[in-house]
Structure 1
Amino acid sequence: MLVVETVGKIRRAYFVQGMAIKAISRDLRISRETVRKVIRSEETEFRYRRKEQPLPRIGPWQEMLCELLEENEKRLPRERLTLIRLFEELRDLGYEGGYDAVRRYGRSWQRAHEVRQQAAYVPLTFAPGEAYQFDWSHEVVVLNGFTTTVKVAHLRLCHSRMMFVRAYPRETQEMVFDAHDRAFAFFKGACRRGIYDNMKTAVETIFIGKARAYNRRFLQLCPHYLVDPQACTPAAGWEKGQVENQIGYARKRLFSPRLKFRSYAEMNDWLLDRCIHLARTGRHPEQRDRTVWEMFLSERASLAPYVGAFDGFHARTASVSKTCLVRFDGNAYSVSSRAVGRPVEIHAYADRVDIRQDGHLVASHARHFGRDKAIYDAWHYLPALARKPGDLRNGAPFRDWALPLSLERIRRRLSGSDDGDRQMVRVLMAVSEDGLAAVEAACREALEDGLYSADVVLNILSRRRGAAAPALLAIPDHLTLHHVPVADCGRYDSLRTPS
């Protein structure tokens, strides 16, 4: 095959330089017939095209292979065989050729029979406050020195294109609730309609058409913010194309290059600032003379007013171990020792875990997202400590117990005595009656006097309770003195009986 450069050299040598065909053939090492062909033709590019493709091996098997390809095309997509599987079936029928011939023929057959149709879409327009779109994405960041894949919630107002982005460690239902509440609090309102894909945290069953069976807790969220949920058709991402485009936009403008933060709180504060900055500087795609932020401010009046946070927890029941621990999400959380032996209900929020028993709160912890961690609150073990004071020294909940300064100084002083643990437990037990602040003040006073025994601290607490001002009694009006009595000792003589 002659390349374009060679054709140009031949034509310039003959028509411009006047060289003979024999000389051109000798210089370029090309046959005279080829040189004559280029000179006599006005073509500037020559390609070799084989008029007939010989198929020595696959030729007799073309008809059989076509039948196999047609049968394979009629199957469901997940049940279709690959070309190498079709080659194996053809070989079992007696074909002796190689796989490459079957692969080339199969690819050409597929190109000839597939219908290529470009998808066409109708541009959508939304009224102010009409709808928002919600979706998740997975992004990679460096969090506290470790490369971490975070789950990012995206919410977008369809009219103004205002975006809200927030990162979470999980993609669970309580994270969905928290993302909605923070977004609506930032927007200062909610749209009338929310557009979602069929995520399991919202949709339990997909019926024919647009009918859906939504999750019960998700259905409680929607009327709280006066939102009518709408789920997209499965595998039809264009029905929420705005938030799909936002994911790609945020990945380029927010998460590239890779972000580095110490905590989720720091990252989310930065993301919110960036969303506002991009909205203030970005032009609205339809009204080019206005920014996204200006469109958002004008849309706020059309939103349903923000009514406060939805109690967005994910509930589940659990049992309490004899060590006062409840397992949830791969970790163990302590509860009050009085809750041992009966089931509890865990209310998991995005940032904390509340544990209730019979409607009463028995524990509340900041949520941890690692694995196999034990999160203790030492005060939960105080009743058990009263029965076994020796556990204060080696008990796991008390190992890194951060007590107030004066209490910690008393604890260190008492650790040198034989009954130091028992005395310290007596001081700690007073917290349930007098409060931590009063016990801390009593310990401080005892240390100032150079004393640090439990009896001294409890004595100070007792004196302070006794020094409280007596309550004022309400005296009835008919018993109230209106005239102050005058001192007169002679009145006692009137009481004497004459002898």
Structure 2
Amino acid sequence: MTAEETAKILTLHHAERWPVGTIGAQLGRHHDTVERVLAHSGLEVHKQAARARLVDPFVPFLKETLTKYPRLRASRLWSMTRARGYTGSKSGFRAIVSRLRPRRAAEAYLRRSVLPGHEAQVDWGHFGKVTIGRAIRDLWAFVIVLSYSRVRFLRFSLRAAMPSFLAGHAHAFRFFRATPRVILYDNLKSAVIEREGDAVRYHPTLLALAGHYRFEPLACAPYRPNEKGRVERAIRDIRENFFAAREFRSIEELNEQARAWCLEIASERRVPDARDTTCAEALAEEVTKMVELPGDEFPVEERVEVRVGKTPYVRFDKNDYSVPHTLVRRQLTVVASDDRVRILDPEAPATAAVVADHPRSFDRDLRVESKEHLQALTEQKRRAHQSRGFDRIFGVVPSSRSMMERIAERGGNLGATTSGLLQLLDRVGAGMLERAVAEVVAHDQPNLRAVHHVLDRLRHEAGQPPPLSVAVTSDARASVQVRTHALSTYDNLGREDETNGGDDVEAR
């Protein structure tokens, strides 16, 4: 408070008779500050008399009730007070109850001290949503902090499920080059399945991970975020100092930026308990006290049992992935990582268990297909169609079997020949087609052109018109058959006209 402000407050209050609240609002000072200045001046403070409120007669009842039931809702208190004669509004009543409600006494906490390499804290942080193609997915950050050195590891994921949870641990341990002896968790589903007081039942997959890397999982008490305050503070720092205004084109790029931030910026921070030491320097000391990494990696891929329907695709994570058509109506296993989706046949030998391998897509409603799968299905359908054609044509045109065998020996197109014979069968019937094919086979000319030529000749000899593949008209007269005559008939008609004409001249 400057001398000028003090003089201004005294002038406005004693000379202009401004109330304390008006002075505070005008000068941007709290009313308690204005009253303190006036009290130090030794002069009397002029306060306006407080106006009586409708709720004043009921304040003792409210205080007594809130003392017995500190968590009683304002809506229930308003009903109880209204039944006793209160006529005020409900909205203003809520503010009055808020001021009268007993406040929980502030709790003091001891500063936790940990030994090097002994403890780490883990938690998830939600960072909004991202759009990938047509899919809108949640963006999660797996954060782990070493309690002694305060070194952080950060990895983003599109899911907070168990596979991402396991992968976060594996990447973090490689980043630290060792494993802490104890890891603290919140009561998230990936860590704690059931809890009754101090009795905790951990997730079996987490216990398998802990046994592989040789650390002890430990669940914090419910509603006690102070027990893992280091990771809570780290998530807040990530929001403000890393993720704010961050641009990225993919999750892979975001994780590369996060790793660089952990190495270059976060590790250069000063350790709160030792201001002359950086986090990177404290980590060099802490690693020697941590547990060495095992020689092999823990399997962190997601495994899901799926069933193939009548189409050769399996549904996984909002997308369809192709499989060989021979596996329809079968139960398969999907093994997925962040970048690949492998589909396994549990009944096949281990060397041939992988029946499909696709790049993973985080879009939605896509068909991720393999060209080999589609080509095999198309070829199988083509052979099936050709086989059905063979069965039909061989049954009604016996000579066609010999014709097909000779075409196959010469490398001809069996599919086109079968299709052509089926069309001719529908047009001319089995009897005439059998005569034509038998004649073609007898003359060793196994091709459709020769069959067409023989059929045209047979129809001509039978006095039938050439067949039409498309109906030209529906008029009944179009089906009338006209027998052709020899051209000499027209010559005779000409001679008869000349004879009749000569007789007429002589008569004149």
| RMSD, aligned α-carbons | 3.5
Which of the numbers 349, 358, 368 marks the counterpart of 1:375?
368
Q: Read off the aligned partner of 2:332 and give its amino acid letter.
A: V
Q: 1:59 to 1:226 in 2, by over 3 A?
A: closer
Matched residue count: 357
Out of 360, 372, 381, the residue aligned to residue 388 of structure 1 is: 381
Hey, what does 1:8 align to over in structure 2?
Answer: 11
1:227 positional shift: 1.3
Q: How far, CA to CA, are the matches of 1:109 and 1:29 in structure 2?
A: 32
Return the TM-score normalized by structure 1: 0.63
Q: Out of 84, 87, 90, which is 1:96 matched to?
A: 87
Question: Which SS does the other structure have where 2:117 is aligned?
Answer: coil
- In 2, the alpha carbon distance for the partners of 1:343 and 1:9 equals 86
The reply on whether 1:127 has 2:152 as its aligned counterpart is no
**Residue type at the aligned position of 2:167:** D
1:198 and 2:187 aligned: yes
Residue 296 in 1 paired to residue 283 in 2? yes
**1:140-219 alignment runs, 5 A limit:** 140=128, 150-209=139-198, 211-219=199-207
Matching of residue 306 in structure 1 with residue 298 in structure 2 = no
Q: Deviations over 1:345-402 (max 9, x none)?
A: 22233333222222622222232222222211222334323212499xxxxxxxxxxx
227, 231, 236: which one pairs with 1:248? 236
1:21-100 equivalences in 2 (<5 Å):
43=42, 46-48=45-47, 50=49, 54-55=52-53, 57-62=54-59, 64-66=61-63, 68-70=65-67, 72-73=69-70, 77=71, 80-82=72-74, 84-99=75-90
Change (3 A) 1:346 1:45: farther
Query: 286-295 or 134-143, which moves further after superposition?
Result: 134-143
> How far off is 1:4 after superposition?
6.6
Unaligned runs of 5+ in 1: 12-24, 31-38, 392-417, 423-499
Q: Is the 8 A contact 2:133 2:364 kept in 1?
A: no
CA distance in 2, matches of 1:216, 1:8: 74
Whether the 8 Å contact between 2:343 and 2:356 is mirrored in structure 1 is yes
- The offset of 1:274, in angstroms, is 1.2
Distance 1:278 1:81, change over 3 A: same
The 8 Å contact of residues 130 and 139 in structure 2, kept in 1 or not, is answered as no
Aligned-partner residue type, residue 8 of structure 1: T
Q: Give distance in 2, aligned partners of 1:377 and 1:148.
A: 26
Cα separation, 2, equivalents of 1:357 and 1:349: 18
State whether residues 133 and 363 of structure 2, in contact with CA within 8 Å, keep that contact through their aligned partners in structure 1.
no
Distance 1:318 1:157 in 2: 39
2:318 — aligned with what?
Answer: 330
Cα distance change, pair 357–42 in 1 and its aligned pair in 2 (3 A)? closer
- Amino acid paired to 1:372: D
Matches of 2:320 and 2:130 in 1, distance apart?
A: 26
Shift of 1:288: 2.5
Identity fraction in percent: 28
Offset, 1:331: 1.5
d(CA) in 1 for partners of 2:44, 2:240? 43
Task: Decide whether the 8 Å contact of 1:154 with 1:247 is kept in 2.
Answer: yes
- Structure number, greater radius of gyration: 2
Instruction: Check 1:390–1:165 CA distance in 2 against 1; reply closer, same or farther (3 A cut).
Output: farther
Quote the residue 1:268 is aligned against.
255
Letter in 2 for 1:5: K
Contact kept in structure 1, 2:209 and 2:298, CA below 8 Å: yes
Q: Is the CA contact 1:325–1:333 (under 8 Å) kept in the aligned structure 2?
A: yes
Q: Deviations over 1:145-193 (max 9, x none)?
A: 9997521111111222111111111111100111111111122221111
